[in-house]
Amino acid sequence: MVEDLKRVRLHQASFLEDVAVLEEGSHSDLNARQLNIFNSPKKGGSAESDAQPYLKKLGIEIIENRQPIQFTPNVNERIHRWAPYVQGFSASFVQSIFDQYKNEYANPIILDPFSGCGTVLVQSKINGFPSFGTELNPLLQFIADVKVNSWDVSPTYLIRTYHEMPKDRRSPAPSFLQSTSHFNPGVLKNLELLKGGIESIKSRSDKTKIKNLLKMAFSSILIDCSNLKRSPCLGYAKSKRVYDDTPLVLLEQKVTQIADDLKLIQDDYSNFIHTESHIALTNAMDFQHNQQFDLVITSPPYMNGLDYVINYKIEMGWLDFVENQVDLKKIKDDMVVCDNVSKGLIRDFSESRSSYSNDWLEEIRKNIKANIKRRGAYRRHDMPYIVHKYFDDMYKVMKNVVSSLKSGSRFILVVGDSLIADVYVPTDLLLARIGLDLGLEIEKIEKARVRRSGQIRSYKLRESILTLIKR
Ligand SMILES: C[S@@+](CC[C@H](N)C(=O)[O-])C[C@H]1O[C@@H](n2cnc3c(N)ncnc32)[C@H](O)[C@@H]1O
């Protein structure tokens, strides 16, 4: 009852938010965005009703199964908390999947084609399950790899190495980033000294893992030391105060936390320390796995979601994974598309002949195109092709994954739908349909969370858990 009331209030609040945007200007001087909201037939609408025709065609219903699915609680979970990450999902969600299928798979082999910072792989290893992943962002692949492959490091040796690091070697901030506006001068100097200290640790076999743990720890404090915040996109934080010694304080805290977790791991999971976990730095669209999987648990990028490269450019630059903007763009262009990719990439896609499509996608593409034309102004005129490329990219990933599935295995995707130029895009149902095209069955689709559209705040979208099964 209380929850229902809260939901009603939230919905009223978002409706009022749409109205507030409109009231910012008189009817005659509304800007393009305000006008679009004013004229939108989707105000106060919901994915629930817009999904009905698609659900009817698939012959299924969506099951309500609200649950905390986001990364936030991981900040208190051992290992998961080693690096902050806003786009991951919660360790408890992954555990709930393992628990759900524990009688069906005795010792499952797990895959996450979009590994991110390794939530699925870390949780697999905690359960003693071998796990594999692919990830295109070199920073995230590095973090995930360090999280799963450092369990045998001596916590005391880690702390000692950290304290013995030279304190007087300065290694310059990445030249292509605007570090003098990202950091206060005293903070910047201390970060350069810490970077220099870590780099001077010799990469001998007994020190390589320790050096990597320290690099990961260093990357994890950078945003907290900066004048920026990630909420979830990277931007300046106006009222944030950072002190000159913040890098020293935060790094010490982080290294202590990692050492504490290593002690716990070595006490509680000693049998699993060498359980296989491997994350390849590669494209999930074409990587050939050489084993077959029982469970695939993953969360693909959301179509109009975050930019997984620009959002992590500070850490990628400071850890020397990229040297310039061109490096960043190259990584981004290979990823499953998001809505701020380069226009050239989309133009090339629109001119290419071979791409996945179906009647739903064609209809959606046509409607987005017509709505953008009617409106006259839209953030990106190539949006119909961005949407199409998203599903073409996802088709390639899913096809690749399906070729490595054992019979009886499950392919579980956590995904959010979208509202684009007043056209509802049922991402979960379109991915379910791709699954059918690839010979899988839809076992269930659960609604885990209600989200609000970024365009029309009063429009209710959903985050779903799609479970496909290979018979
Ligand atoms: C939603 S995040 C996954 C987060 C992950 N579940 C976690 O908890 O850390 C999606 C990830 O897919 C990665 N990615 C995007 N396109 C990719 C591709 N073609 N191949 C491999 N990884 C890709 C992004 O870099 C991002 O880390």
Q: What is the mean pLDDT of each successive set of 10 residues along the chain, which is 471 residues long?
A: 44 48 49 76 94 97 86 80 82 94 96 97 98 98 98 97 96 96 98 97 87 98 96 90 98 98 97 98 96 97 86 97 97 94 95 92 97 88 96 98 98 96 97 98 96 89 97 97
Cα–Cα separations (whole angstroms), residue 18 to 305, 349, 391, 454? 20, 35, 30, 11
Whole-angstrom CA distances from 443 to 141, 269, 409 are 31, 33, 11
Cα of 301 from ligand 1 centre, angstroms:
6
Q: What sections of 269-358 are H helices per DSSP?
A: 313-318, 325-334, 343-351
Q: Are strands 110-112 and 131-135 parallel, antiparallel or unpaired?
A: parallel
The residues that bridge with 418 in the sheet, in sequence order, are 425
With the most atoms of ligand 1 within 8 angstroms of its CB, the residue from 93, 135, 146, 311 to mutate is 135
- pTM listed for this prediction: 0.93
Cβ(119) – ligand 1 distance below 6 Å: yes
> What is the predicted pLDDT for the residue at 306?
81
Residues 84-101 as b/e (b if ≥16 CB within 10 A, e otherwise) read bbebbbbbebbeebbeee
Helices H, strands E: what count in the chain? 18, 12
Looking from the CA of residue 298, the nearest atom of ligand 1 is 6
Ligand 1 pocket check for 123: Cβ under 6 Å: no
What does the block give as tokens for 236? 């300046």
Collapsed DSSP state (helix, strand, coil) of residue 241? coil
pLDDT computed for residue 85 by the predictor:
76
Which residue matches tokens 């005795």?
106
Task: Return the ligand 1 atom nearest residue 112 CA.
Answer: 6
CA of 374 to the centre of ligand 1 (A): 35
pLDDT of residue 206: 79
Give pLDDT, residue 120.
Answer: 97
The closest residue, in CA terms, to atom 13 on ligand 1 is 114
The torsion of the CA quartet 323, 328, 331, 334, rounded to 10 degrees, works out to -150
Distance 355 CA to ligand 1 centre (A): 22
The CB of 412 under 6 Å from ligand 1? The reply is no
pLDDT at 25: 45
Tokens at residue 432, please? Answer: 């379910």
What one-character DSSP code corresponds to residue 195? H
Whether 285 lines ligand 1, by a CB cut-off of 6 Å, is yes
- Reported as half-sphere exposure (CB side, CA atoms, 13 A), residue 19 has a value of 7
- Parallel, antiparallel, or unpaired: how do β-strands 63-64 and 441-452 relate? parallel
- Output the residue whose Cα is nearest ligand 1's atom 8: 88
CA distance 343 to 332: 12
Does 284 contact ligand 1 (Cβ within 6 A)?
Answer: yes
Q: Which of 81, 93, 114, 336 to mutate to test the pocket of ligand 1 (most atoms within 8 A of CB)?
A: 114
In angstroms, what CA-CA distances link 34 with 26, 38, 48, 372? 10, 6, 25, 15
Round to whole Å and give the CA distance between 206 and 157.
10
Cα angle, residue 216 at apex, residues 212 and 220 outer, rounded to 5°: 170
**pLDDT for res 151:** 98
With a 6 A CB cut-off, is 93 part of the ligand 1 pocket? no
| Interval between CA 125 and ligand 1 midpoint (Å) | 19
Cα 116 to middle of ligand 1, angstroms: 5
Residue 116 CB–ligand 1 contact under 6 Å: yes
313/327 Cα distance (integer angstroms)? 10
Residues 6+ apart with CB under 8 A from 349: 355, 385, 388, 389, 392
Burial of residue 280 (CB within 10 Å: 0-12, 13-18, 19+) is middle
> Radius of gyration of the chain from Cα atoms?
23
